[in-house]
Amino acid sequence: MSQGADASSAAAGQGVATLSLTADGGLVVSSVRAGGSAKPTSVEVRRGVPGRRWVMVIDLAACDGCGKCTDVCAKSHFIPGDREFIRLFNMQESTDTAPYWFPRPCFHCDNPPCTRVCPVGATFKRQDGIVLIDNERCIGCRFCMAACPYSARSFNWSPPADPAPAVARGYSPEWGYPRRVGTVEKCDFCADMAREGKLPHCVSGCAMTALWFGDENEDAVTNSKGDTVRLSKFLRDRAGFRYMEELGTKPRVYYLPAANRRSAAPGEPGANVSNSQRRRDQR
């Protein structure tokens, strides 16, 4: 289905939503900006996509802990090995409750503690809900890292070793590379992809369809298979929640509880290897 989207966006005119037919009889809609993948202006970067409120839903019942989201994210953002934008935890609230996989991107909070404390406005909240970082303004004080309750932020501790494609694209806060030493970075909700009407890499790369992404203003979220559901009904029917609501940060990422799991929980027979095991294997 993604090929269909690509084909249509290539053919699309200025600012027009295009519908295209795919092999299985489904439809693909894509809104295409004038100029395609041209760099957004700094005003556009700070504003966000007009009229949009990006939102993510993570279905904990569907997640099997394969770590594909982390991998595709790392590949598409050229992320160095010491950090992950979407990190997978194997959680267990207490010994008597079930363990479950917990993918954690940046929550793009509507009341973001990180953005509150930034002394120079290098990290900012956009009207479309995304929290981004301007690595060309960041002074590297790391206050935002200390302030984020979810440890979603990483730092460029060393001078970067960007691969050629990263350098070639040129810097924009919407994709955050080529990297700048001594500055903070994090999951950007694939702001550039959303601008082109494409799902974030982690969502489109999730074979378990555990990750959903959409526009809250459209009241819909879509998964990697193209299944699109009404957000409000989805959250209501599946008892959606936001992680640590009591902190008052108002995340833009919702979770669906790990009830009636579709695959083995961490530690169960047939489950994917745990994160500690995975990290040991990497070494």
Structure token digits, residue 74: 């790392």
Maximum Cα interatomic distance, the chain, rounded to a whole number of Å: 56
Segment near other proteins (CB under 8 A); pick from 36-44, 133-141, 166-174, 255-263: 133-141
Residue 97 or residue 151: which is nearer to other proteins going by CB?
A: 151
- Of 40-99, which residues contact other proteins (CB under 8 A)? 50-53, 82-83, 87-92
Backbone angles phi, psi at 31, to 5 degrees: -95, 130
Q: How far is CA 86 from CA 29, 92, 125, 257, in A?
A: 27, 19, 19, 18
Q: Does 162 bind other proteins (CB under 8 A)?
A: no
Structure token digits, residue 98: 């079930």
Segment near other proteins (CB under 8 A); pick from 34-42, 57-65, 161-169, 221-229: 221-229
For the four alpha carbons of 231, 85, 178 and 123, in that order, the dihedral sign comes to positive
Q: Does 156 bind other proteins (CB under 8 A)?
A: yes
Per-position x/- string for 98-117, each x denoting binding to other proteins as judged by CB under 8 A, each - no binding: ----x-x-----xxxx-xxx
**Binds other proteins (CB under 8 A): choice among 37, 42, 97, 127:** 127
**Binds other proteins (CB under 8 A): choice among 10, 11, 34, 139:** 139
**Binds other proteins (CB under 8 A): choice among 71, 216, 257, 264:** 216
**Binds other proteins (CB under 8 A): choice among 61, 98, 147, 167:** 147
**Binds other proteins (CB under 8 A): choice among 41, 42, 97, 158:** 158
CA distance linking residue 278 with residue 230, whole number of Å? 35
CA distance linking residue 183 with residue 140, whole number of Å? 5
**Smallest gap from residue 165 Cβ to other proteins (A):** 23
Residue carrying structure tokens 């040991």: 280
Backbone angles phi, psi at 220, to 5 degrees: -150, 145
